[in-house]
A = this chain, B = another copy of it.
Amino acid sequence: MPRMHTLTHFRLCPHSRSVRLLLAELDIGFALIEERPWEYRPELMAMNPAGELPVLALEGGPVLCGSYAISEYVAEDVKTNLRERFAPPIFPGSRDDRAEVRRLVDWFHGKLNREVTREILEERVYRAYRMNGAAAPDVAILRAVRENLRYHMSYIAYLAHQRQWLAGDEMSFADLAAAAHLSCLDYLGEVPWDEYEPARIWYARIKSRPAFRPLLADRISGVAAPGHYADLDF
């Protein structure tokens, strides 16, 4: 039994990053254990038969698999003892407001992941690791996926222009999910910030939060982050 909560993650996994942000925003302490998800190690499969990240093993509690189960579990936590001090809800507002948060979480962790983040990570990171750096990305795939990213950037800019935060008046898990994906893509220098000013302003705001600092300190071998990655005034 672990002596504290442990989060099994990969540094550039967007689902893992959204949960790191979530736990930090809620002031829930945790230790990190890194897995390379493409290795499907037996130790990971034993914790999560799906072989997916992140996995949150709560001290003296259950093992929670995936950002969906984890986020809803900690969102139910207002009345219990995981939290060390008051933190605002991450599915805020009315029931209708929460449906909007969840629609957008689904958008970022489902659609944006499928159409952009997972493809770029596979082409530029995972495959190179699996093949010890010998794999060149498929240029045609990258071109198509970068075009998809422009569509998603437009939508994020539209939301950021209309609203205080992406799902409404308050910051929510939708912001954390979107920021998690964009932070992975930004690490890889893939985000055309200049063309989507409201998205850039929103991202600069969320990036300057204390919860974001550990992500900005992450580096992975073989891929250098661009100079603006950790710059709060990028």
Task: Give the docked Cα–Cα distance between A107 and B72 (Å).
Answer: 16
- For the complex, count residues of A whose C-beta is within 8 A of B: 28
Task: Give the docked Cα–Cα distance between A124 and B50 (Å).
Answer: 26
A125 within 8 A of B: no
Residue interface bits A85-107, CB-to-B below 8 A is 1, else 0: 00000000001101110110111
Q: Which of B49, B62, B103 contacts A65 (CB 8 A)?
A: B103
Residue interface bits A62-79, CB-to-B below 8 A is 1, else 0: 101110111011001000
Contacts of A42 in B (CB 8 A): none
Task: Tell me what chain A mostly uses at the interface: helix, strand, loop, or mixed.
Answer: helix
User: What's the least CB distance linking A234 to chain B, in Å?
Assistant: 28
Task: Give the docked Cα–Cα distance between A69 and B155 (Å).
Answer: 19
Contacts of A95 in B (CB 8 A): 73, 76
Contact: B111 with A99, CB < 8 Å?
no
Other contacts beyond A64-B99, A68-B103: 4, CB < 8 A? A64-B103, A68-B102, A69-B103, A110-B110
Report which A residues bind B (CB closer than 8 A): 49-50, 52, 61-62, 64-66, 68-70, 72-73, 76, 95-96, 98-100, 102-103, 105-107, 110-111, 114, 155
Can you list 30 pairs linking A and B with CB atoms under 8 Å apart? A50-B103, A50-B107, A50-B111, A52-B111, A61-B96, A62-B96, A62-B99, A62-B100, A64-B99, A65-B103, A65-B106, A66-B102, A66-B103, A66-B110, A68-B102, A68-B105, A68-B106, A69-B99, A69-B100, A69-B102, A69-B103, A69-B106, A72-B72, A72-B99, A72-B102, A73-B99, A73-B102, A76-B95, A76-B98, A114-B114
